[in-house]
Amino acid sequence: MKRSGTLVLTEGRSGSNWLGSLTNVTGLLGSCEEWIDARHSGVEPGSVSLDDFISAVLDKASTPNSYFCIKLFPRHLFKVQNAYDRDLITELQRRFDTQLIVLQRRDRLAQAISFARAYQTGAWQSTDNEKRDPDYSFDAICRSYFFVQRSYDFWETYLDLRSLDASKFYYEDMMDDCAPYMDAVRDHAGIQAEASDKPSESKLSIQRDTLNDEWRVQFVEDLKVKNMLPSSLPRPPVLTGQNLVNFLRQRPTKPKPFTW
């Protein structure tokens, strides 16, 4: 039987940690995380062969029934591309029965504010400790908004050009009823829900608080008088050893996306 799994195509602060925690707690629907990053998988792309890298990622992403779940941001796809000159999604679909799910957030401003705050504090989920206090930044929220939208546009274009099917879910809808998302993953895993099943509970809590609301009010006011165009452009690459290597190898260099 062909191994199967789910790829969640999204961007940060889309509710992916929360929804991933709901499927993770079942113990049967994979272990959803950003496994392409070495800080999660323990393996840096390019440090081993592609086969060994995929095996290491699947070892982390799979539950005992061999079902895997991997959260992908556009940068993850390019990280593998830079390391192996391969499209990770193509490779996983060729080797395994791989389902694609697109997860987005309708309220892009709320997502941008959440992204800017998490980037600043380092607290990407409720169980993380803040490394520093957050400070309001019009520039950072603008950049986060454009960054998130570019990621969503990338996934839409990528799927369209490759004529790939993907189920689409919105975070706000799942807050009211997460069953459709759970059922999509469960159905692909071939696991039927029992009539006695109770809604999954997450150990994660919502991070949004009154500070997010205050930043939103301030941002809307600032939009009336401030120029957002400088913040809409991606930052130029920063001078690092890795960027020098990328440049010499004719690979994309990495910009510093935000400043504080």
Q: What are the domain boundaries of the chain?
A: 4-193+203-248
Name the pTM for this structure: 0.86
Give residue 250's pLDDT band: very low, low, confident or very high (50, 70, 90). low
What six digits make up the tokens of 76?
């993850």
Give how far Cα 53 sits from Cα of 33, 165, 190, Å: 15, 26, 26
pLDDT value for 260:
35
The confidence score (pLDDT) of residue 259 equals: 43
* Top-tier CATH class for 4-193+203-248: alpha beta
Question: What pLDDT sits at residue 196?
Answer: 39
- Answer yes or no: is pLDDT of 207 > 90: no
Per-residue pLDDT, averaged over 12-17, amounts to 93
Cα-Cα-Cα-Cα torsion 23, 79, 258, 149, nearest 10 degrees, comes to -60
Does residue 173 register a pLDDT over 80?
Answer: yes
Spatial distance between the Cα atoms of 226 and 149, rounded to a whole number of angstroms = 20
Distances, alpha carbon 201 to alpha carbons 14, 132, 181, 182, 219, in Å:
18, 29, 14, 12, 34
- Whether residue 77 contacts residue 88, with contact meaning beta carbons closer than 8 Å, is answered with yes
Unique residue bearing structure tokens 């960027």: 243
Residue 146 near residue 228 (C-beta atoms within 8 A): no
> For the chain, what percent of residues have pLDDT higher than 70?
81
Q: Which of 17-21, 119-123, 157-161, 218-222 has the lowest mean pLDDT?
A: 119-123
Task: Give the mean pLDDT of 95-108.
Answer: 97
Q: CB–CB of 41/203 below 8 Å?
A: no
Q: What local confidence, expressed as pLDDT, does residue 24 receive? A: 95
Q: What is the DSSP letter of 146?
A: H
b/e code 161-195 from CB counts within 10 Å (16+ = b): eeeeebbebbbeebeeebeebbebbbebbeeeeee
Write out pLDDT tens, residues 60-79: 999 999 999 999 999 999 99
Averaged pLDDT, 239-243 = 66
Are the beta carbons of 61 and 69 closer than 8 angstroms? yes
pLDDT exceeds 70 at position 128:
no
Longest dimension (CA), the chain: 60
